[in-house]
Amino acid sequence: MRHLLLALSLTALGACSSPLPNVDPQQAWIDLATPTPGGKLVMAERLDNQRLQDGRYFQVSPGSHELTVRFDFEVFSGGMGMNAEPQERLCYLTVRYDHFQAGQRYRLEARNLAFTPSARLYNAQREIVAEERMINCVP
């Protein structure tokens, strides 16, 4: 029984660390990042309102798409006593961009200023091409 549990655990870990797929030159690739210190996690959640299997990136056909990311971050209150611990926040940020181009790389960055999250989509020249249009946070 222990060997079976060990094998299942190792299989699950291997799936989490699987390599990224090859970049398809017929599609656009979107990397995800969070440059803020409180940002813990940004993951691809939905593409055009369809749930994704792999949250590490988006790969989309040319044209218009709506990207939804999950953004987990901590807010530090700076207070004393009970409020000294950071508070965790979970938000879903949606960005729409109408001009994705095949073979191009983009970068979607999620960040927060205190309790307020935001997302920006950058092209390869590091120009902002879109910003979030919808934010849905879980307390």
* pLDDT value of residue 117: 94
Q: Evaluate whether 118 touches 93 at the Cβ level (below 8 Å).
A: yes
How confident is the model at residue 13, as a pLDDT?
Answer: 43
Token readout for 109 is 């960055």
Q: Which pLDDT belongs to residue 16?
A: 55
Chain-centre distance of CA 29, in angstroms? 13
CA–CA gap between residue 117 and residue 108 (Å, rounded): 13
Q: What is the pLDDT along the chain (139 residues), one digit of tens a residue?
A: 444 344 434 444 444 568 888 889 999 999 999 998 878 899 999 999 999 999 999 999 999 999 999 999 988 766 665 656 788 899 999 999 999 999 999 999 999 988 899 999 999 999 999 999 999 998 7
